[in-house]
Amino acid sequence: MATVKLDDVDLPKGIQRIRPLPDPALGILWDSIILDECVKSQLLSQAVLNFKLRGKVDRSVIPLHGVILLVGPPGTGKTSLARGLAHRTAESFQKAEFRLLEIEPHMLTSSAMGKTQRAVSDLFSQSIAEAAVDGPTIVLLDEVETLAADRSKMSLEANPIDIHRATDAVLVQLDILAEQHTNLLFLATSNFPQAVDSAFTSRCDLIMQVPMPDREACGRILEDCLKGLSISYPAILKLLVAPDFKCCAAECVGLDGRAIRKMVVNALASSPQTAMNPELITVENLLAAARAAKANREQGV
Ligand SMILES: Nc1ncnc2c1ncn2[C@@H]1O[C@H](COP(=O)(O)OP(=O)(O)O)[C@@H](O)[C@H]1O
Ligand SMILES: [Mg+2]
């Protein structure tokens, strides 16, 4: 992709960022997402297989499109996992230089009326195709429902026909890219799978549900968060051995991973004193913050 520089200024429309892979920072992200190891292993295996198999086995045998879709409630770690997966996949192929293209769907759909379809076609047929010619490429399609919206649920009065055509363009381009470029993998995420067009989901090689954390996972996320804080504020480690610490994990059930980490920040902000000296945080502060976060959730805020 000779015309594309690796800085944000000259990126083609719709591409938010291009990163060379592997990128150890994304490895840290992958490790920070606490999830059943089987899920992570299956994701990595599917992604690795995509690059191994597609150049060797004809599409008439296995019609792979090179698309993995992560679905689950907001805040469950889908975007982080997708970025981390890109790194881990690239790391599995020692000699190849991979690249991660991050797409910003809103940049395409906010185009002037009548231009979305064209913007989508150009992105896929030019920018993404050129990257795939250059070397193995992973494309993050975050919040894909924006691009591949379910046409059957779309009212043409409420939604511009432009978006309708954008979905068509995505599907056409995915088929073309699947035929022509075997060293390409799309990692798509969606908070609202019911809003994604069924023709898109039928093209996915793997659809993985990313669940809300269970009690054990809540405990581990909380622990990971507190351990991270203890690097700067060592006394925070005392919370992990406090008798009531297990109650905090139980109180977090019903919160997603993002909400748990934000709840810890709220606990640190329990009073001006804890804000000034985070080492003063107590288990009671955590319990109260977790209860408040859950109460908000129950009221839909
Ligand atoms: N299962 C999890 N384990 C650890 N942290 C998590 C988990 N889920 C979410 N998080 C935290 O929440 C933040 C937001 O996650 P993100 O990947 O943006 O979620 P999503 O894309 O599903 O909305 C991440 O930075 C991560 O720290
Ligand atoms: Mg996300």
Return the CATH number at 144: 3.40.50.300
Residue with the larger pLDDT of the pair 169 and 234: 234
Range of the domain at 196: 8-209
> In the structure, what pLDDT confidence band is assigned to residue 3 with cuts at 50, 70 and 90?
very low
pTM of the model: 0.92
Residue 2 included in any domain = no
Question: Is 197 in the same domain as 220?
Answer: no
Question: Is 252 in the same domain as 186?
Answer: no
> In the structure, what pLDDT confidence band is assigned to residue 259 with cuts at 50, 70 and 90?
very high
pLDDT for 138 equals 98
Question: Is 94 in the same domain as 222?
Answer: no
- Ligand 1 pocket test: pick from 30, 31, 76 the residue with the most ligand atoms within 8 Å of its Cβ: 76
Residue 281 included in any domain = yes
Contacts for 161 with CB less than 8 Å, ≥ 6 apart:
none
Pick from 90, 82, 53, 92: which is nearest to 178 by CA? 53
Question: Is 18 in the same domain as 124?
Answer: yes
**Tokens 């990692």 sit on residue:** 187
pLDDT for 1 equals 42
Whether 245 and 284 have beta carbons less than 8 Å apart is answered as: no
Question: Is 259 in the same domain as 129?
Answer: no
Residue 1 included in any domain = no
Of the candidates 164, 182, 209, which is a domain's last residue? 209
pLDDT for 2 equals 41
**Cα-based angle 142, 143, 147 (whole degrees, multiple of 5):** 100
From the CA of 142, give the closest atom in ligand 1.
21
> In the structure, what pLDDT confidence band is assigned to residue 4 with cuts at 50, 70 and 90?
very low
* Ligand 1 residue neighbourhood (C-beta within 6 Å): 32-35, 74-80, 189, 213, 221, 257-258, 261
pLDDT for 117 equals 82
How far is Cα 141 from Cα 102, in angstroms, rounded to an integer? 7
